Amino acid sequence: MDYLPLTPTGQTPIRALTIAGTDSGGGAGIQADSRTMTMCGVHACVAVAAVTVQNSVGVSGFHEIPPETVAAQVRCVVEDIGVSAAKTGMLASTAIIEAVAQVCTEVGIGRDHPVPLVVDPVCASMHGDPLLHADALDAVRHTLIPIASLVTPNLDEVRLITGVEVVDDASARRAAEALHALGAKWSLVKGGHLRSSTSSTDLLFDGDTFHEFTNPRIDTGNDHGGGDTLAAAITCALANGYAMPDAVAFGKEWVTRCLEAAYDLGAGHGPVSPMWRLDQKNV
């Protein structure tokens, strides 16, 4: 694959921001975002929205950060360090979503601003544990997605947000159209959870044109953090100035390599691994 350019040693790299929750098991959330950004040669800034209590088996609880503190993290990073792209992950509540949308608009992040925003609308963990209060779905639909340069739900999140059950290409297209109609500049319907298919096809839509990105399905149960990793890799490519279809193509190839390098961890699902990039044969 073609890698993103690396900044020479001693020079300031491109910066990106993740606004998300932690993962105490280290497989997903801000940990996955930061690891991916680093491996892509991007300096990762973070705004913590929630602290989860989780391991490879599941999520047993989470603590929300006060909305004003989440917004203050975004504001202080952008005003001092500056970022070229940003993403969201777990935002947990309506109040946090509203605070994030307001501060992003304030500092120039989002679909109608210079800094692109990738919205990964995290609703539940891969184990089905809730990571978003049920009453916050309307805020996802009507406050968060409308400021997205790109929205990247998995199929469970597509169903919760749009009511469309994706089972084939036709329903994936309906879902992409429904997501775009909520206000995102681009929508991406990911096929990774469509287990009946031998391939994994992600469908990108801008309101006029569909773009398909297909890779062979990787046979592994160690896919924790795959959605975070994909969204973070796309964010890195956007920060490097890639057009959206090219950024999604990069992210798709990146997460496929990460799935190939996934490893066992604990008693449950292990994480996808961007550390394949450390293999000197791949550099």
Q: In this predicted model, what pLDDT tens digit does every residue of 10-59 receive, in sequence order?
A: 999 999 999 999 999 999 999 999 999 999 999 999 999 999 999 999 99
This prediction has a pTM of: 0.96
154 domain-assigned: yes
Q: How many domains does the chain have?
A: 1
Q: Look up the domain containing 179 and give its range.
A: 15-264
Q: What's 256's domain CATH number?
A: 3.40.1190.20
Q: In this predicted model, what pLDDT tens digit does every residue of 198-240 receive, in sequence order?
A: 788 999 999 999 999 999 989 899 999 999 999 999 999 999 9
Mean pLDDT over 149-163 rounds to: 95
274 domain-assigned: no
269 domain-assigned: no
Separation between Cα atoms, residue 258 and residue 261, nearest integer Å? 5
Residues near 99 by beta carbon (within 8 Å), at least 6 away in sequence: 67, 68, 70, 71
Q: In this predicted model, what pLDDT tens digit does every residue of 161-211 receive, in sequence order?
A: 999 999 999 999 999 999 999 999 999 999 865 656 778 899 999 999 999
Do residues 193 and 156 lie in contact, with contact meaning Cβ atoms separated by under 8 Å? Answer: yes
Tell me what the pLDDT averaged over the chain comes to. Answer: 94
249 domain-assigned: yes
273 domain-assigned: no
Residue 70, token pair as written in the block: 């989440």
DSSP per position, 8-75:
PTTSPPPEEEEEEE--TTSSSHHHHHHHHHHHTT-EEEEEEEEEEEE-SS-EEEEEEPPHHHHHHHHH
pLDDT band at 126 (very low <50, low <70, confident <90, very high): confident
282 domain-assigned: no
- What was the pLDDT predicted at 281? 52
| Residues facing 48 on adjacent strands | 20
67 domain-assigned: yes
Residue 283 reports pLDDT greater than 80: no
133 domain-assigned: yes
Separation between Cα atoms, residue 73 and residue 3, nearest integer Å? 30
